[in-house]
């Protein structure tokens, strides 16, 4: 089945630890995105990548890092510099920046 | 003031009712408008994508855009319990997803 797979579904980490969220897609999409969703707020763009080996900061990139070494994969690292890391993280992909984006099922990160 | 305003609800309606979900926006330059449906603890899925003012229909769903009033709506006819979800509006200046602004979502509950 084609789609976007985010893993794990739930993740718990201690404060001060870095954590990496996985996002894999087999849709042959060039563009990939990471969003953060908090209660009472719309989805906010963290990073996006238009093509392999290229990525750009979104609106709330501070405290996060990404890599795009393969077309299928766009992992997100939440570093200890992120002040409020507990949130629901969504990965998405699209053929290009101008076409419909499809979302994964999300990873709920809780930092204690 | 947020760029996109959306009543968070919850909105409860009986099965079979016509549902009206709305968003207002402040930036008159927005050109593309979208509605996403998000079930609890899942990623959003695209329902409707419109460019111009007017109505667009897809099955039981109708998206309406009024650029002069900076107001968009999603109507759901013959609502079903399976329509119970959070509905997010989204809009962008161009077609690029890296510049999409999302509303906070309206939670809808359809009572059998």
Per-residue model confidence as pLDDT tens digits over B18-76:
999 999 999 988 888 999 999 998 999 999 988 878 899 999 999 999 999 999 999 99
pLDDT at A2 over 80: no
Which band of pLDDT confidence, cut at 50, 70 and 90, is reported for residue A34? very high
CB A79 within 8 Å of CB A21: no
Measured between alpha carbons, how far is A49 from B73 in angstroms, rounded to an integer?
31
Task: Give the nearest partner residue to A105 out of B43, B88, B98, using CB atoms.
Answer: B43
Select from A42, A90, A99 the Cβ nearest to the Cβ of B103. A42
For residue B108, list its beta bridge partners: B11, B85
Torsion of CA B56, B70, B77, B46, to 10 degrees: 60
In A, which residues are within 8 Å of B44 by CB distance? 43, 90, 103
Cβ contacts below 8 Å, chain A against chain B, sum to 62
Q: Considering only alpha carbons, which residue of chain B is nearest residue A5?
A: B43
Q: Which of A31, A42, A102 sits opposite B104 (nearest CB)?
A: A42
User: What are the backbone angles phi and psi of residue A83, rounded to the nearest 5°?
Assistant: -70, -35
Is A19 or B93 the better-scoring residue by pLDDT?
A19
- pLDDT of res. B95: 62
Q: pLDDT averaged over chain A?
A: 93
pLDDT of residue A72: 97
Whether residue B97 is predicted with pLDDT greater than 80 in this model: the reply is no
- Phi and psi at A67, nearest 5°, equal -145, 155
Assess whether pLDDT exceeds 70 at residue A87.
Answer: yes
Q: How far is A65 from chain B (nearest CA, A)?
A: 17
B36: left (phi over 0), alpha (psi -120 to 50) or beta: beta
What pLDDT score was predicted for residue B75? 97
Whole-angstrom distance, CA of residue B61 vs CA of residue B50: 13
Of the pLDDT bands very low, low, confident and very high (cuts 50, 70, 90), residue A101 is confident
Burial A62-84 (b: 16+ CB within 10 A, else e): eebbbebeebbebbbebeeebee
**Residue B82 per-residue DSSP state:** G
Give how far B68 is from chain A: nearest CA, Å: 24
Q: The dihedral of CA A51, A57, A60, A64: what is its sign?
A: positive
Q: Decide if A48 and B4 are in contact by the 8 Å CB cutoff.
A: no
At residue B93, does pLDDT exceed 90? no
Q: Give the per-residue pLDDT at A33.
A: 95
Across A15-43, average pLDDT: 93
Identify which of B38, B50, B39 has the alpha carbon closest to the alpha carbon of residue B88. B38
The residue with tokens 């999603």 is B74
Cα separation of the two ends of chain A: 35
Subunit contact B46:A41, Cβ cutoff 8 A:
no
pLDDT digits (tens, 9 = 90+) for A40-84: 888 999 999 999 999 999 999 999 999 999 999 999 999 998 999
* Mutation site for A-interface testing, chosen from B43, B47, B88 by largest number of A Cβ within 10 Å: B43
Residues of B in Cβ contact (< 8 Å) with A102: 45-46
Q: Are strands A10-13 and A107-111 parallel, antiparallel or unpaired?
A: parallel
Amino acid B108: pLDDT: 97
């Amino acid at each position: 089945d084609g789609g976007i797979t985010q893993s794990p579904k739930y993740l718990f980490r201690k404060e001060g630890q870095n954590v990496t969220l996985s996002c894999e897609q087999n849709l042959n999409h060039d563009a990939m995105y990471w969003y953060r969703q908090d209660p009472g707020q719309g989805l906010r763009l963290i990073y996006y990548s238009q093509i392999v080996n290229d990525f750009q900061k979104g609106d709330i990139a501070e405290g996060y890092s990404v890599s795009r070494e393969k077309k299928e994969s766009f992992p997100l690292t939440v570093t200890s510099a992120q002040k409020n890391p507990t949130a629901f993280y969504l990965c998405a992909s699209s053929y290009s920046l101008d076409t419909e984006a499809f979302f994964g099922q999300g990873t709920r990160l809780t930092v204690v | 003031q947020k760029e996109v305003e959306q009543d968070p609800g919850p909105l409860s309606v009986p099965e079979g009712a016509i549902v009206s979900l709305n968003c207002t926006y402040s930036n008159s330059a927005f050109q593309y408008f979208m509605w996403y449906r998000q079930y609890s603890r899942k990623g959003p899925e695209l329902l409707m994508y419109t460019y111009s003012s007017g109505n667009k229909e897809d099955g039981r769903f109708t998206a309406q855009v009024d650029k002069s009033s900076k107001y968009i709506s999603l109507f759901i006819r013959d609502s079903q319990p399976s329509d119970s979800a959070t509905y997010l509006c989204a809009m962008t200046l161009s077609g690029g997803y890296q510049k999409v602004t999302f509303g906070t979502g309206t939670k809808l509950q359809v009572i059998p």
